[in-house]
Structure 1
Amino acid sequence: MPEIVEFPERPYVGIRKTITMTSFNLVGDRLGEIIGWLVQRGAYPAGAPFFRYDSIDMAGDRLVVQAGVPVATPVEGEGEIFAGTLPAGRYVTVSHHGHPDQLMGVTDAMLKWAADQGLTWDMTSEEGGTEHWGCRLELYNTNPAEEPDLNNWDTDLQFRLA
């Protein structure tokens, strides 16, 4: 069941790419690289790595997505890796245990729940349906090196409210 949680600002480092649904690996495969980059600098993840959806155009099969890793204190970016901050605020959050392929259904159920509650997202829509999100996250709580079976993964969705 979704719930509303208040989060503070959260620093992170990440990369951003414009992709399609079939080229998601261009972002997804970079999480390990970002974690390695942090460790080389004596910094470590301060939570689950995530994907942040900046814009979604399902009709045009175009997504702007970040792969990010939270840090305890801000770290200066370098090259393609940038430093950012997830905004403070109220988020609708829900946890999912199972294959990431099931997240589309989990997301749809969460969006419907929020609509039924009369909640408004930190999101704007363009004519044609492109959505620009203030902060829409998928956090991957399972280390794939420890649990390679995708059916046993734990994922949290966190979408910021207006």
Structure 2
Amino acid sequence: MPEIIEQPARPYVGVRRHITMTTFGEVADRISELIGWLAERGLAPAAGPFLRYHSIDMAADRLEVEAGVPVAEPVEGEGEILAGELPAGRYATVTHHGHPDQLAGVIGDLLKWTAEQGLEWDMTEADGVERWGCRLEIYNTDPRVEPDPNNWDTDLQFRLA
């Protein structure tokens, strides 16, 4: 069941890309690189890695997505690796246990639940393009520990207006 949580600002490092649904790997596959980059600097992730959706244009199959890894304290980026901060605020959240391919249905349920609650997203829409203040998929399961994606836990956290 979805719930509303309050989140503080959270520093992270990430890589941002303009992609399509068929080129999703260009950003998602960078998570291990980000974790390795942190390890080279003696830093560990502060929480599970995530995908952050900045803009979504499904009709044109264009997305702006960032792969990110939270860190305990802000760090400087380098090259393509950017330093950022997830904004503080109220988030609608739900945890999905199962294959990431099933997230579309869970997202639909979260969007419906939020509308039923009379809540509004930190999102603007113009010409069919959604621009999100903070829309996250947080991957809580390490695939090296649990290789079966049917046993993975993913948190959706969408910031509210």
Normalising by structure 2, what TM-score? Answer: 0.99
Q: Does 1:57 align with 2:67?
A: no
Q: Deviations over 1:113-153 (max 9, x none)?
A: 000000000000012x1100000000000001111111110
1:6 matches 2:13: no
How far is the alpha carbon of 1:43 from its aligned partner?
Answer: 1.0
Residue type of the alignment partner of 2:156: L
Unaligned runs of 5+ in 1: none
SS at the partner of 2:34?
A: helix
The answer on 1:126 being equivalent to 2:130 is no
| Structure-to-structure mapping, 1:1-162, within 5 angstroms | 1-127=1-127, 129-162=128-161
Q: Distance in 1 between matches of 2:156 and 2:69?
A: 15
Distance 1:15 1:83 in 2: 9
Percent identity between matched residues is 71
Distance (whole Å) between structure 2 residues aligned to residue 130 and residue 72 of structure 1: 33
User: Which consecutive residues of structure 2, in runs of 5 or more, have no partner in the other structure?
Assistant: none
C-alpha separation in 1, matches of 2:131 and 2:30: 23
Q: Distance in 1 between matches of 2:114 and 2:40?
A: 41
**Mapped partners of 2:22, 2:146: distance in 1:** 24
Matched positions, count: 161
- How far did 1:53 drift? 0.1
Distance 1:93 1:47 in 2: 16
1:57 offset after TM fit, Å?
0.3
Amino acid paired to 2:159:
R
Q: How much does 1:156 deviate?
A: 0.2
Moved over 2 A (4+): none
RMSD: 0.4
SS of equivalent to 2:115: helix
Task: State the AA in 1 paired with 2:117.
Answer: Q
